[in-house]
């Protein structure tokens, strides 16, 4: 497994600080949150895109994924959703990222499948994947797997397993991995107080079954990205991400086959 860290854990910090923390923490990659406040978003011009890519690659890092906010199953017309996702995919291609994270934001797999197929040609031509996270209205592996199976474009759409959300919605890690297995291309690791209190805590001090999930991934031979998603943007009272990153590095070492 290859360790990355998400810039969600660095509110108010620039790309330079993110690179510094990632390299000091033994990461191979950065997961870049797409938002105007991070300085990385689809509105960047060509020169700005080159500058971001050169800074990351110049530090010996890769961009593991772009963490976008498109709702692939969000109710409403397709065109705005497809257009926003295409813009994020083109940004990913320019930055050298392998994929773009999306949220479900709805519970109708037919809607999301239709939109994933609509962007599949562009994603394929760019060599990219859309990463559907286990989140919100499709928080379980079973729900995301059903969406991806209906979409039927495995080369351009895959699953992002956030270890917290399926578990807190009652799906054991073994069931999550069994459902996501053929689709799984990305993992986000984190710990939280409990299934009902999602305040982030250092790894192994909360309730998320991290050892069980890690053992399952090792047994399955998973060798893709694992990103520490430390949600300090949403929980500003928690410790800085650089204090949490050593635990994530330890988790990756323990469970890398």
pLDDT tier at 235 (50, 70, 90 boundaries)?
very high
Residue range 38-59: average pLDDT?
Answer: 97
pTM of the model: 0.98
Tell me which residue range forms the domain holding 238: 2-255
Residue found by looking up tokens 């990205």 in the block = 225
Tens-digit pLDDT profile for residues 103-113 = 999 999 999 99
Tens-digit pLDDT profile for residues 11-41 = 999 999 999 999 999 999 999 999 998 999 9
Q: What is the 3-state secondary structure (H, E, C) of 119-162?
A: HHHHHHHHCCEEEEECECCECCHHHHHHHHHHHCCCCCEEEEEE
- Which CATH number belongs to the domain containing residue 75 in this structure? 3.20.20.150
Tens-digit pLDDT profile for residues 155-192 = 999 999 999 999 999 999 999 999 999 999 999 999 99
pLDDT tier at 73 (50, 70, 90 boundaries)?
very high
Residue 257: pLDDT over 90: no
Query: Alpha-carbon distance 68 to 54, whole Å?
Result: 21
Backbone angles phi, psi at 2, to 5 degrees: -120, 130
Residue range 86-111: average pLDDT?
Answer: 98
Q: How many domains does the chain have?
A: 1
Task: Enumerate residues 6+ apart whose C-beta is below 8 A from 249.
Answer: 3, 25, 26, 27
């Amino acid at each position: 497994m290859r360790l990355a860290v998400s810039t969600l854990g660095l509110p108010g910090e620039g790309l330079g600080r993110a690179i510094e923390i990632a390299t000091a923490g033994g990461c191979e990659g950065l997961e870049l949150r797409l938002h105007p406040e991070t300085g990385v978003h689809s509105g960047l011009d060509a020169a700005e895109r080159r500058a971001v890519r050169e800074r990351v690659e110049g530090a010996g890092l890769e961009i593991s994924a772009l963490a976008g906010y498109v709702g692939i199953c969000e109710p409403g017309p397709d065109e705005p959703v497809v257009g926003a996702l295409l813009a994020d995919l083109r940004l990913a291609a320019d930055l050298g990222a392998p994929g773009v994270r999306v949220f479900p934001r709805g519970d109708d797999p037919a809607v999301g499948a239709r939109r994933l197929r609509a962007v599949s040609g562009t994603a394929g031509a760019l060599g990219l994947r859309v990463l559907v996270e286990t989140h919100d209205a499709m928080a379980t592996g079973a729900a995301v797997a059903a969406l991806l199976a209906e979409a039927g474009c495995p080369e351009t759409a895959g699953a992002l397993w956030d270890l917290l959300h399926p578990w807190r919605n009652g799906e054991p890690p073994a069931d999550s991995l069994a459902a996501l297995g053929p689709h799984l291309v990305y993992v986000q690791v984190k710990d939280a107080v409990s299934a009902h209190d999602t305040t982030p805590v250092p790894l192994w001090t909360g309730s998320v079954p991290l050892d069980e999930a890690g053992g399952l991934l090792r047994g399955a031979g998973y060798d893709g990205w694992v990103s520490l998603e430390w949600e300090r943007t949403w929980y500003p009272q928690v410790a800085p991400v650089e204090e949490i990153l050593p635990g994530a590095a330890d988790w990756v070492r323990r469970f890398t086959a």
